[in-house]
């Protein structure tokens, strides 16, 4: 259910670009999805297939690249991976500071389209 | 002509577009307009049953004497919450999201129209009850708040990291249940702070009133800024 509004947005953007570029058919959609997203890839494709019926993007395949979540230390600038399920506080591996912020792993980004 | 036009070639089109960019633009516009009207908007998010409406009712009781308050209630398909809020004595608008499990900035804009003739200092947007979609959509609010209630468990920051990472304040509700559960407040605090070191954590019980004054104090402070 949560996939639906996101997929609707993706389809909107894709169709706008397809129209602008006089595309006959969209074959593949390359997406970057933040690792912190709770959306299921399989359901994203199902909803996409449903919503895109009869459009230029019908039967297009979503190619999803997961973008890992990363933290940055506010003290020394070190960037390191965030593991959501790991226990304990986020200590910077370089300087042991605890003040670290998420800088990647959120959001949805359409990179490019493979089209005919 | 050698070139055969009947064979289509696959081309690559660069898009490079953040899919929520247009929503964010509308949200930024709302934030600015509200700021000029000196109205502060708070986006309140939580799971169903965590106590969003109860907290709003407590907030009305604590602030309505000195702050002009309005509420936008977003619900998939019911009017129950808006009726409760109106009974508590402040103007409320009900947004039916028609099956959608979140509100976006343009839906909020419609809700604001419903409160337009009232001069308000503070608007609380009660988002749809879930911890997934509302975290993705900027509503135009100045601050994001979420409630986690004790019966839901202290592991929620591990399961819904995005929600905990975007909030300015976390209200831990139903602390009167603490004795009957294995909820570990310290462990939860640690899990939340590693996602979001700036978040303010306020334990409360809407039932007993414990901690509510701390919540009201935070709200008074941020809505004055």
Q: Is residue B6 part of a domain?
A: no
CA distance A8 to chain B (A): 10
Q: How many domains does chain A have?
A: 1
Chain B residues within 8 A of A17 when measuring between CB atoms: 13, 15, 17
At B206, the pLDDT band (50, 70, 90 cuts) reads very high
**Alpha-carbon gap, residue B96 to B76, rounded angstroms:** 5
Q: Is residue A46 part of a domain?
A: yes
- Is B12 inside any structural domain? no
Per-residue confidence band for A88, with pLDDT thresholds at 50, 70 and 90: low
**ipTM surpassing 0.90, yes or no?**
no
For residue A31, the enclosing domain spans 3-66+108-115
CATH number of the domain enclosing B145: 3.40.50.300
Predicted confidence (pLDDT) per residue in A96-111, tens digit: 888 888 899 988 999 9
Residue A81 in any domain: the answer is no
Q: What CATH number does residue A29 fall under?
A: 3.30.2320.50
Q: Which of B12, B18, B137 minimises the CB distance to A112?
A: B12
Residues of chain A numbered 42-71 and touching chain B (CB < 8 Å): 69
Question: pLDDT tens digits, residue range B66-91?
Answer: 899 999 998 766 667 778 888 888 99
> Does residue B76 belong to the interface with chain A, where contact is any CB pair within 8 Å?
no
Quote the percentage of chain B above a pLDDT of 90.
68
Mean residue pLDDT of chain B comes to: 90
Mean pLDDT for B35-47 is 96
Indicate whether B101 pLDDT > 70: yes
Q: Residue B3: is its pLDDT beyond 60?
A: no
> Mutation test of the interface with chain A: which of B130, B162, B167, B199, choosing the one with the most A Cβ atoms within 10 A?
B162
Q: List CB contacts (< 8 A) between A10 and chain B.
A: 19
DSSP code string of chain A: -THHHHHHHHHHHHHHHHHHTT-S-EEEEEEEEETT----HHHHHHHHHHHTTTSTTTTPEEEEEEEPPEEEETTT--EEE--TT--S----TTT--S-EEEEES-SEEEEEEEE-
- Chain B residue closest in CA terms to A11: B19
| Closest-approach residue (CA) in chain B for A111 | B16
Q: Is B7 domain-assigned? A: no
Q: How far is A114 from chain B (nearest CA, A)?
A: 5
Mean pLDDT of A9-33: 95
Domain assignment of residue B213, yes or no? yes
Q: Report the pLDDT value the prediction gives residue B1, as an integer from 0 to 100.
A: 46
pLDDT of residue B143: 98
Reported as a single tens digit per residue, the pLDDT across B134-193 is: 998 999 999 999 999 999 999 999 889 899 999 999 999 999 999 999 999 999 998 898
Interval B39-55 mean pLDDT: 95
- Beta-strand pair B92-96/B122-126: unpaired
Task: Identify whether A48 is part of a domain.
Answer: yes
Q: Taking 60 as the threshold, does the pLDDT of residue B4 lie above it? A: no
Q: Has residue A57 got a pLDDT over 70?
A: yes
Whether residue B199 lies inside any domain: the answer is yes
Q: Does B25 touch chain A (CB under 8 A)?
A: no
> Is A9 in Cβ contact with B19 (below 8 Å)?
yes
Tally of domains in chain B: 1
Instruction: Examine residue B91 and state whether it is found in any structural domain, yes or no.
Output: yes
Q: Is residue A97 one of the residues assigned to a domain?
A: no
Which chain B residue's Cα is nearest to A40? B132
A76 contact B CB<8A: no
CB contacts, 8 Å: A72 with chain B = none
Q: How far apart are CA B124 and CA B115, in angstroms?
A: 12
Query: pTM of the predicted model, to two decimals?
Result: 0.88
Domain carrying residue B105: 21-224
pLDDT at A92 over 50: yes
């Amino acid at each position: 259910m949560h996939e639906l509004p996101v997929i609707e947005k993706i389809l909107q953007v894709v169709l706008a670009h397809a129209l602008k570029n006089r595309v006959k058919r969209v074959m593949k959609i390359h997406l970057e999805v933040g690792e912190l997203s709770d959306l299921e890839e399989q359901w994203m494709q199902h909803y996409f297939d449903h919503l895109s019926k009869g459009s230029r993007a019908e039967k297009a395949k979503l190619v999803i690249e997961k973008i890992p979540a990363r933290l940055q230390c506010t003290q020394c600038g070190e960037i390191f991976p965030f593991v959501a399920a790991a226990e304990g506080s986020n200590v910077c591996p370089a300087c042991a500071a605890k003040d670290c912020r998420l800088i990647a792993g959120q959001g949805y980004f359409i990179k490019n389209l493979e089209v005919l | 002509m050698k070139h055969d036009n009947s064979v289509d070639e696959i081309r690559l089109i660069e898009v490079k577009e953040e899919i929520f960019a247009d929503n964010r633009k509308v949200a930024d516009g709302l934030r600015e307009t509200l700021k000029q009207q000196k109205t502060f908007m708070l986006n309140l998010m939580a799971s169903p049953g965590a106590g969003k409406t109860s907290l709003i009712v407590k907030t009305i009781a604590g602030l309505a004497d000195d702050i002009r308050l309005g509420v936008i209630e977003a619900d998939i398909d019911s009017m129950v919450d808006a009726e409760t809020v109106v009974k508590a004595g402040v103007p409320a608008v009900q947004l039916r999201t028609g099956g959608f499990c979140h509100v976006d900035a343009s839906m909020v804009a419609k809700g604001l129209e419903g409160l337009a003739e009232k001069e308000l200092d503070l608007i609380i947007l009660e988002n749809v009850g879930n911890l997934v979609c509302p975290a993705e959509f900027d509503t135009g609010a100045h601050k994001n708040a979420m409630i986690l209630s004790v019966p839901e468990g202290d592991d929620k920051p591990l399961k819904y990291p995005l929600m905990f990472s975007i909030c300015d304040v976390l209200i831990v509700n139903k602390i009167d249940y603490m004795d009957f559960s294995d909820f570990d407040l310290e462990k939860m605090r640690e899990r939340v702070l590693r996602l979001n070191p700036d978040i303010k954590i306020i334990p409360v019980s809407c039932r007993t009133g414990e901690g509510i004054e701390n919540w009201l104090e935070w709200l008074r402070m941020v809505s004055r800024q």
